[in-house]
Amino acid sequence: MTVGGESLWSIALKFLNFGVLLAILIKFAGKPLKTYLVNRHNAIKEKIEETNRMLDEAEKLKRTYEEKLARLDEEIATFKKTVMGEVENEKAKIIAEATQFASKMKEQAQLTYEQELKEVKNKIKEDIAQLTIEGAGKLIAEKMSKSDHEKMIEDFIVKLRSLN
């Protein structure tokens, strides 16, 4: 019997030949092949486990950084609030100092004004007194006669002598 131009014996011998080759391979290469495949399987399994472990660590690290980032926003808000409070305090301090300085300057200006006013009044009084004396001297010189003048000098001398 032939199938497609080849006899059944020929096909059977090919199968037998393949079976013998397979048996020899299994006999001599089976154990090393099995060891290689088991080692390869274990290596791949370890790499998968290592990858999973690294993935877990990366996710933990991600969560840690996300928490820090969330806290960072809070810390920034707190810092901003603190700084704004300090700025407001400094602003109030500067305004208080400026108000105090302005008040002192106003007092100093008032004192200077009063002192200068007093000096001007005294100068005016001195000028008026000087003008009055000059005017009185002129008036006396015009109205007083030589005899009145001599009598006045004599009265003055008498008064001076009576004081001693």
Task: Dump pLDDT digits (tens) for 108-131.
Answer: 999 999 999 999 999 999 999 898
Angle at alpha carbon of residue 161, lines to 156 and 163, rounded to 5°: 100
pTM over 0.75: no
C-alpha 133/C-alpha 127 separation (Å) is 10
The mean pLDDT of the chain is: 88
Q: Using pLDDT thresholds of 50, 70 and 90, give the confidence band for residue 5.
A: low
Question: Which residues does residue 6 pair with via DSSP β-bridges, in sequence order?
Answer: 3
Task: Give the pLDDT confidence of 80-106 residue by residue, as tens digits.
Answer: 999 999 999 999 999 999 999 999 999
CA 113 from chain center: how many Å? 44
